[in-house]
Amino acid sequence: MRGATRALAMTGLAVAGVAAPATASLGPLRRRLAPRLAGIGDAGHIALTYDDGPDPLSTPHFLDLLEDFGRTATFFLLGAHVARHPDLVIEMAQRGHELAVHGWEHECVLTLGPGRLLSDLRDTATLIEDVSGQRPRWYRPPYGVLSTPALLAARATGLRTVLWSAWGRDWEARATPPRIVRTVERTLGPGGTVLLHDTDRTSATGSWQHTLQASRVLLECWADGPVAVGRLGDHGLRAHRSGTSSQVRGRIGPPQWSP
Ligand SMILES: [Zn+2]
């Protein structure tokens, strides 16, 4: 069931029925915003992002790997697990990584009301800041499913919503390190944002080990290239400032790009 939901979300079908009327009337706006939602930034930079942590079993391996290559990344965290593993979150921040909001639990935003969405995002952002001293700037909803209440809640929390433009499909049971690497290379374009997972919390059991191996290969490939690799905060994207919720107008539909 979980896999089916994710598969639907990835194709935009899960939200199409909800947002289609709004998006149909806002095509130009959607086209203008889609690259921003996909995290398209500076052409000379790749944003490396990991979702669903922190996880004490797997995340430290990613921190060590990134340190080996002198790289930092953006980690989209779940508030409930930040609460359980604050020391790990402190370490992530101290090692130079950027902390972002993925929600309190890993729930599809379409199942949550506006009040719950707002409290989830605020609680997660506040907890991350209280624990690490780092105020999150980015929000990525679970499964990449967007809704107007979720976008508004993010904006009201001072977070900019960013999905991804490239992925490794590393959550799949059939994902092997070479397959993940090939999928990232096939989907990655200039200024892309790469989605991977530093835990198998919502993925196939043990998949993080494949992602770790794939990450090493990718970092080796990128090590001598002309393109820099790092955090979303260094990707040339503009974050929201707090208190800009009054600037939100209209409705925004699901992202429309080919992964
Ligand atoms: Zn996720």
* Residue ranges of domains in the chain: 2-9+41-230
| Residue of 51, 52, 55, 120 marked active site | 51
State yes or no: is 120 an active-site residue: no
Ligand 1 geometric centre to CA of 109 (Å):
12
- Cβ atoms 21, 254 nearer than 8 A: no
| Residue of 197, 210, 235, 240 marked active site | 197
Ligand 1 geometric centre to CA of 78 (Å):
8
**Long-range CB contacts (< 8 A, 24+ apart) of 16-24?**
16/254, 18/110, 18/147, 19/146, 19/147, 19/148, 19/251, 19/252, 19/253, 19/254, 20/253, 22/148, 22/250, 22/251, 22/252, 22/253, 23/251, 23/252, 23/253, 23/254
Ligand 1 geometric centre to CA of 203 (Å):
9
Phi/psi of residue 214, nearest 5 degrees: -65, -40
User: How high is the pLDDT of residue 225?
Assistant: 86
Q: What three-state secondary structure class fits 71?
A: coil
Ligand 1 geometric centre to CA of 175 (Å):
16
Q: Which two tokens stand for residue 234?
A: 């260094």
Ligand 1 geometric centre to CA of 242 (Å):
24
Ligand 1 geometric centre to CA of 202 (Å):
7
Q: Provide the CATH topology of domain 2-9+41-230.
A: TIM Barrel (3.20.20)
| Helix H or strand E segment including 114 | helix 114-132
Tens-level pLDDT at each residue, the chain (259 residues) = 344 344 334 433 333 323 332 333 344 555 556 888 999 999 999 999 999 999 999 999 999 999 999 999 999 999 999 999 999 999 999 999 999 999 999 999 999 999 999 999 999 999 999 999 999 999 999 999 999 999 999 999 999 999 999 999 999 999 999 999 999 999 999 999 999 999 999 999 999 999 999 999 999 999 988 999 999 999 999 776 543 333 333 333 333 333 2
State yes or no: is 235 an active-site residue: no
Ligand 1 geometric centre to CA of 190 (Å):
24
Ligand 1 geometric centre to CA of 94 (Å):
23
